[in-house]
């Protein structure tokens, strides 16, 4: 089993390769009658080792689709129409099913909300964590049980020795979510995706769990993609922010820069929505009843943009670099 981990470092990888690189990724969902939904339209994204990146955007922006594509699990009727995803310099599409499965369990992990559907109701918590490390790290039964106990301690489950033999229905929602995190992190994956992982929990539990997730990821020097609709979460947990709108990256910036000087009108709209300032909200939000006709060939955000000019509805803006670690997809970015 240990040989599965050895499948990972590919001969073509070099230390200068980013951990994850997504290039020109297009994903669409085909429907029997209606035209396809273009969920992702040319995503470019790089994540370095040790980096925590927040992926924000409203419902339907394509966040989960991007996460699934990275995991190699785009659901039916979706398909990747173009683009590549590489992990440590290795193009994922070039890997066989076995190698992909090994990477997924060992190096890539995804934490999602609704932990109960993730957990197997007929296996104890200890068996479920143990199975992951037995399979991916090749540990024997008793070593796996010890590793499971360590993970329950690491995720701060009260009375961990007793919980090892508990079944999922015996756990609270917050505890079940901690178990899901324990399973995801049991093999110290190099890259962790958290897709709205705490959205169903109450606010204090949510903060505790995100804090824990960050501490564990940092301790293992892993990288993470934090997906959320709550932009305030990213301020606390991330190094960099990627804003997705209608399947396109519209802004990339470090967290400090983003909260100080956002440049895309949609970013300003997102921030204004979370601000206490009624004036900010009024200035950056187009009321739904004033929503304008579709953009056609232009900018995807133009119909809702308060700064829209004629060029915005005729010419699609490219993602422009604005210096290190910063890019914006807008003809008339704010403050530039």
Of 289, 267, 271, the closest CA to residue 280 belongs to 271
* Residue among 133 and 210 whose Cβ is closer to Ni ion: 210
CB 274 within 8 A of CB 232: yes
* Residue among 37 and 46 whose Cβ is closer to ligand ATP: 37
CB 133 within 8 A of CB 139: yes
Least distance between ligand ATP and beta carbon 61 (Å):
4
Least distance between Ni ion and beta carbon 58 (Å):
10
- What strand order describes the sheet that includes 248-254? 108-111, 191-195, 223-228, 52-56, 240-245, 248-254, 327-328, 320-321
| Binding partner of residue 37 among Ni ion, ligand ATP, none, CB cut-off 5 to 8 Å per kind | ligand ATP
User: Exposure string (b/e) for 255-267, b if CB count within 10 Å is 16 or more?
Assistant: bebbbeebbbbbb
Of 165, 172, 228, 191, the closest CA to residue 48 belongs to 191
- The correct pick among 20, 25, 39, 182 for binding ligand ATP (CB under 6 A) is 39
Binding status of residue 9 toward ligand ATP by CB under 6 A: no
- Given the structure tokens 């709108």, which residue do they identify? 245
| Binding partner of residue 262 among ligand ATP, Ni ion, none, CB cut-off 5 to 8 Å per kind | none
* Residue among 70 and 209 whose Cβ is closer to ligand ATP: 70
Give SS3 for 178.
Answer: helix
- The correct pick among 4, 64, 223, 263 for binding Ni ion (CB under 5 A) is 64
**In a 10 Å sphere around its CB, with 0-12 CB exposed, 13-18 middle and 19+ buried, how is residue 33 labelled?**
exposed
Binding status of residue 65 toward Ni ion by CB under 5 A: no
> Considering only residues 43-82, where is the footprint of ligand ATP by CB under 6 A?
57, 59-65, 75, 78
* Residue among 37 and 208 whose Cβ is closer to ligand ATP: 37
| Binding partner of residue 2 among Ni ion, ligand ATP, none, CB cut-off 5 to 8 Å per kind | none
Give the residues across from 36 on adjacent strands.
Answer: none
| Binding partner of residue 156 among ligand ATP, Ni ion, none, CB cut-off 5 to 8 Å per kind | none
Dihedral (CA of 95, 101, 104, 106) sign? negative
Q: How many residues bind to ligand ATP according to rule CB under 6 A?
A: 14
Residue number of the CB closest to Ni ion reads: 64
Which residues of this chain interact with ligand ATP, rule CB under 6 A? 29, 37, 39, 57, 59-65, 75, 78, 229
């Amino acid at each position: 089993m240990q040989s599965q981990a050895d499948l990972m470092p590919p001969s073509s990888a070099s230390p200068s390769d980013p951990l994850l690189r997504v290039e020109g990724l297009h994903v669409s969902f085909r429907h029997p009658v209606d035209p396809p939904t273009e969920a992702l339209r040319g995503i470019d994204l790089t994540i370095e080792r040790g980096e925590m990146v927040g992926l924000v955007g409203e419902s339907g922006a394509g966040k989960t689709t991007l996460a699934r594509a990275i995991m190699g699990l785009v659901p039916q009727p979706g398909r990747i129409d173009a683009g590549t995803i590489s992990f440590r310099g290795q193009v994922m599409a070039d890997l066989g099913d076995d190698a992909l499965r090994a990477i997924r369990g060992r190096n890539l992990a995804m934490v999602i909300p609704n932990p109960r559907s993730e957990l197997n109701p007929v296996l104890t918590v200890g068996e479920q964590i143990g199975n992951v490390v037995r399979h991916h790290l090749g540990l024997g039964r008793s070593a796996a049980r010890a590793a499971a106990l360590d993970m329950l301690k690491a995720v701060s489950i009260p009375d961990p020795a007793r919980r090892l033999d508990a079944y999922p229905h015996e756990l609270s929602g917050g505890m079940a979510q901690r178990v899901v995190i324990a399973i995801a992190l049991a093999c110290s994956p190099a890259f962790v995706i958290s897709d709205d992982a705490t959205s169903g929990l109450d606010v204090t539990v949510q903060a505790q769990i995100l804090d824990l997730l960050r501490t564990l990821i940092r301790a293992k020097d892993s990288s993470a993609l934090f997906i959320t609709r709550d932009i305030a979460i990213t301020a606390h947990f991330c190094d960099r922010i990627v804003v997705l709108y209608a399947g396109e990256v519209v802004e990339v910036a470090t967290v400090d820069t983003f909260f100080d000087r956002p440049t895309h009108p949609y970013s300003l709209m997102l921030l204004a929505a979370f601000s206490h300032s009624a004036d900010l909200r009024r200035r950056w939000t187009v009321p739904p009843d004033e929503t304008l006709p579709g953009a056609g060939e232009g900018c995807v955000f133009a119909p809702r943009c308060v700064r829209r000019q004629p060029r915005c509805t005729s010419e699609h803006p490219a993602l422009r670099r604005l210096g290190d670690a910063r890019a914006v997809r807008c003809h008339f970015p704010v403050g530039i």
